[in-house]
Chains A and B, each alone.
Chain A
């Protein structure tokens, strides 16, 4: 089988300021990250001939998307040979995976990929998460029409239902779940750009207010303003650029179960169950070869689901795998969410994990750098029916 994504490389990364209620123009944040990534790759905007983003210029929950392809193309006056933006993708990284395919097929040489949020500033205005306005004559449509009437307004509720079923079937505990949050917070303390950097203990975790059982406040990620960008380049071209290119070894995009938050056949896992094995089917590399893992933590349980889906432990065994936190620590068997994840470093919505994976592979993690020059990383994003993952290697 020809694995097309191996013809693609990450050649540069960029990130805007990231913070709570920055009050900045979201387009400015977007362009900051895009220009930083272009410069990081040693390119100029004249070299960019492809553009990809998730979820595009979508009218959705406030602050959920700062810009689409059109706005960025126009703002940077890009001459594009290929572009794509939209929400119907295998998770947030689906846009990056599209870019990999575009360069592999020769549609573009260097694709600028970005994801911008400004939820922290936007949510100050007070709105129902998930897109509703919450009163008057508003009525829910689409998927939300099946959940909002029951007060299931947030992904916190939808994912909590999966977590609870996992607890029931496999005996997973809140103490185990807490390790995802505690590990993220520890690593965030070593990341100057993280949002929450104060140490957190298990007692702090259990003292936090409940959001939706079994999730307390610290099981839920923190909305921020910020933008992340990466450059996907054709492998042959990336070799001559400023940085040693990061090869895309394999990607996972499968969704075999029903594309739904409540109709998915197995309520102890999510779309990651299908995307993870697909990724491994496209490479001879194995889970044991991975040096560092960046696995989506929009809610803590999603990380447990990804750990199982990617074969880092058996089905139902993720609770035991993370118990005590040693295995997933910076000096553990599988250093996990080394930048603090979305739980403590902010909800950059998927792209933050890819950014951190590249940072670690390039040895630029500073205080949080995993020892021993990691060579192979996984970045995975998405929960519920959204899931996409990428296996990345440093050449």
Chain B
């Protein structure tokens, strides 16, 4: 696996039956969530029963990858050796559903230019078997 020199060291998630689809989804550049086939609710993190309608008819579906910036922080503390500071941590909300959120990094834009509410788009960074979903400003 080629490692880009500008890629930080990341602690990767431990994959299991419930999250593997999520962390490997970016292999084709697309982000996926579990979705209830009865009521349409997107479920994150994934559970075997829809928390809205209790249906068990749940499938993995591609989403647009578009999101809105809900809040962010510029982290300056070197918590993790090999993860250069500063970097921006954010909570974003996918456009598909209110409350469908991810904690992520915002990349490709200085923190000073970030505005809560701005539109974002997913991009992936690959590490071993994992594709980390990051977000960058959506080109207008």
Contacts and interface: CB of A to CB of B under 8 A. Distances in A.
Interface of A: 128-129, 132, 134-135, 138-141, 145-154, 156-157, 160-165, 168, 209-215, 262-263, 265, 267
Given A262-B101, A262-B103, A267-B71, A140 B77 contact: no
B76 A147 contact: no
A154 B11 CA distance: 13
15 contacts: A134-B81, A141-B14, A148-B80, A151-B80, A152-B103, A153-B80, A156-B77, A157-B73, A161-B71, A161-B103, A163-B73, A168-B116, A212-B73, A212-B74, A214-B73
B95 interface: no
A232 to B, nearest CB: 36
A262 B13 contact: no
A154 B78 CA distance: 11
B71 A157 contact: no
Contacts of A149: 10-13, 130, 132
Contacts of A265: 99
A211 B73 CA distance: 10
A139 B14 CA distance: 5
Nearest to A146: B103
A135 B81 contact: yes
Given A150-B105, A262-B103, A140 B80 contact: no
Contacts of A162: 71
B72 to A, nearest CB: 6
A212 B71 contact: no
Given A139-B15, A146-B102, A162-B71, 13 more contacts: A128-B80, A147-B103, A149-B130, A150-B104, A153-B79, A160-B73, A160-B75, A161-B89, A164-B116, A212-B75, A212-B76, A213-B111, A267-B71
B10 A145 contact: no
Given A160-B73, A267-B70, A151 B13 contact: no
Interface string B91-103: 1000000010111
B11 A134 contact: yes
A357 B134 CA distance: 45
B12 A139 contact: yes
B37 interface: no
Contacts of A156: 77
Contacts of A150: 10, 89, 103-105, 132, 134
Contact of B80 (A134, A164, A213): A134
Given A150-B105, A161-B91, A263-B99, A145 B14 contact: yes
A211 B13 contact: no
B11 A140 contact: yes
A64 to B, nearest CB: 16
B45 A146 contact: yes
Contacts of B48: none
